[in-house]
Structure 1
């Protein structure tokens, strides 16, 4: 009697091992990297289209020539001074929200673990409203207030959710409670504002990329340059943590330390994005989920989520300017409508799967 030995087929998500100097190796998920590259290309293409959009329309070829330094003085002013900063802020805000959402969902192991649900966006809004309503602050002070509000809210959620560590569903439930409280505070602040400040606050709370300039680009770019390498260094530990804290600890992962570092990074990314563009809703919720469906990978999908967030926000901004004729909408309205529909679909899917 003979036995036939089965040949083990490699998993489509095992990736490819790359040897590094010093005897180290790095395993790359080829499909995830391909998806990230395609999403980045789509985001840049949408950005070029958005730069050419407006009363003074410029074809894509003209935009590219101007960016390369071969445009006219008129095109150079329109592209570099007026429209390019807005597009760069959109790309960076979308990237921050996509990456922040992926981190929160991976840490909480819950598809609803996003800044919109956890209350961080509302906390940043509260910080901005305090500056607008009580101090009549400048745009720079509103930005600083939004950043401070997000950080304080993130710290409060972490402390309230701590019980021999921070765990997924407790983090989400505490975040929902904090979100309700902060939303009520925001409503009260609006009732105490005079008409001019209230109108200014409502415009900021909608979420918009209008009027953004280089003053918003450089802080976001610097923050991404610092936080992105820090997040990627912990990507392997984060993937192990998705198997459970006990399994990750057995593999040598310092679970609570990694979770704290990544939560701080996620809070900073979300607060900075909200400070730059206002509370643009649902990008942080939808981008990681859409990226996961494209990569078909169970991991955190950090780079695909980052690129998906950038592509979503720039595409939504283009739609807000072109899809409604002469009536331009703030980008937060478009992402809110589309993201709200996606959230309802996600809740129905999770319920049918028996996960809630």
Structure 2
């Protein structure tokens, strides 16, 4: 056997591994820098030493409240939500082999949003109840989409079409609730719908953090099987993947993270849509991009929040900035898919 081709294969794999490690490391460093910027920047710029002392629990007038009560919860909410949105979006896009198959497009976040708006403008419940209702509604929406799209065999196209239809219906429900609600209730609902880190509180973050810390490792561990699912049902089964169990574990884990992240921050637009393609473009192929996609999601959320706070004369929620970034890409993607005849 000629060892030359094998040597080329081994060298190519090592090159791809080095690229994966380098890009993932740079994404992690950028995420850390953005986290530090979230803690340092605000209406008042505090010295690094004072911020560290406040984080250590030392009472400092003004600094302790600004850092521990406002900036730290905001940063942690963006960190965990961005990671959840990035991983979940990449998982759906890879598993269903379609860049449009992300939680924003197929209606999962719309289910959570409809429940949250109903609680805010009709029931006037607390934020904890809003979060719980949005999680339950997100899970129920996934179940409904699955039941309506079920046929003799699993169909990606059918699931996406059903999801888009459910999303349109739920968006109509949201619009109706906003039209008939009292005027004083509309601002709170609109803030939540736009996706925002404003008002994040430490006592509300443990459910999100625990969900991400528990479910993200499940998706990461299934990363190789997820990549095999992208080859198709028959190819993955031939290579030894139990497609039904793998798909169920990936869906449950991703939906749990996306529902909890939406409950905590609202439906931050296009993060789950952009994270996967950006990660794949940066890292390339050959290794699982689950972790890079999560880090891209973190960087998108934190960077967009900083831009929304300080780049304009008026402060904008993070979802407005990510929407401005994602909308042109969606149009480009639709044009490209139409040219390739993928519809």
Q: TM-score, normalised by structure 1?
A: 0.89
Structure 2 distance, partners of 1:68, 1:280, is: 31
Deviates more, 1:177-186 or 1:291-300: 291-300
Q: Distance in 1 between matches of 2:202 and 2:234?
A: 46
Could you tell me how far apart the structure 1 residues matched to 2:300 and 2:289 are? 16
> 2:140: which partner in 1?
152
State the alpha-carbon separation in 1 of the partners of residues 65 and 175 from structure 2: 40
User: Is 1:250 the equivalent of 2:238?
Assistant: yes
User: Aligned partners of 1:255 and 1:249: how far apart in 2?
Assistant: 6
C-alpha distance in structure 1 between counterparts of 2:240 and 2:94, whole Å: 18
Q: Does 1:337 align with 2:324?
A: yes
Change (3 A) 1:130 1:72: closer
1:347 aligns with 2:334: yes
**CA contact under 8 A between 2:276 and 2:293: conserved in structure 1?**
yes
- Give the alignment partner of residue 208 of structure 1, picking from 185, 188, 196: 196
Counterpart in the other structure of 1:272:
260
Gaps of 5+ in 2: none
Displacement after TM superposition at 1:254 (Å): 1.0
Deviation at 1:35, TM superposition (A): 1.7
Q: Which segment is superposed worse, 190-199 or 273-282?
A: 190-199
Question: Where has structure 1 moved over 6 Å in runs of 4 or more?
Answer: none
In structure 2, the residue matched to 1:197 is: 185
1:184-226 deviation per Cα after TM superposition (whole angstroms, max 9, x unaligned)? 1111222221112223212211111111011232111100111
CA contact (8 A) 2:215 2:254 kept: no
**Structure 1 match to 2:9:** 10
Which of 277, 280, 298 matches 1:310?
Answer: 298
User: Is the contact between residue 268 and residue 318 of structure 2 (CA under 8 Å) also seen in structure 1?
Assistant: yes
Encode CA deviations 1:115-157: one digit per residue, 9 max, x unaligned.
Answer: 1111111111011122123311111111111111111111111
- In structure 1, the partner of 2:220 is 232
Give the conservation status (yes or no) of the 8 Å contact 2:17–2:287.
Answer: no
User: Please, which of 51, 54, 64 is the counterpart of residue 76 of structure 1?
Assistant: 64
CA distance in 2, matches of 1:44, 1:164: 47
1:1-356 aligned at under 5 Å gives the runs 6-8=4-6, 9-10=8-9, 14-15=13-14, 29-60=17-48, 62-64=50-52, 66-67=54-55, 72-297=60-285, 301-325=289-313, 327-356=314-343
For each residue in 1:151-201, what CA deviation from the matched residue of structure 2 results, as whole angstroms up to 9, or x when unmatched?
111111111122244332222111111111111111122222111222321
1:21 alignment counterpart:
none
- Name the CA distance, whole Å, in 2 between partners of 1:166 and 1:293: 28
- Distance 1:124-1:276 versus aligned 2 partners, 3 A rule: same
* CA separation of 1:297 and 1:89: change in aligned 2, threshold 3 A: same
Gaps of 5+ in 1: 17-27
What is the total number of aligned residue pairs between the two structures? 342
- The answer on whether the counterparts of 2:84 and 2:216 sit within 8 Å (CA) in structure 1 is no
Aligned-residue CA RMSD (Å): 2.3
Q: Is the 8 A contact 2:117 2:174 kept in 1?
A: yes
Report the structure, 1 or 2, having the larger helix content.
Answer: 2
Q: Per-residue CA shift, 1:92-127, capped at 9, x if unaligned?
A: 111100001011101110011111111111111011
C-alpha distance in 1 between matches for 2:258 and 2:158: 20
Cα contact 1:130–1:145 (8 A) shared by 2: no
Aligned counterparts of 2:269 and 2:165: Cα–Cα separation in 1? 18
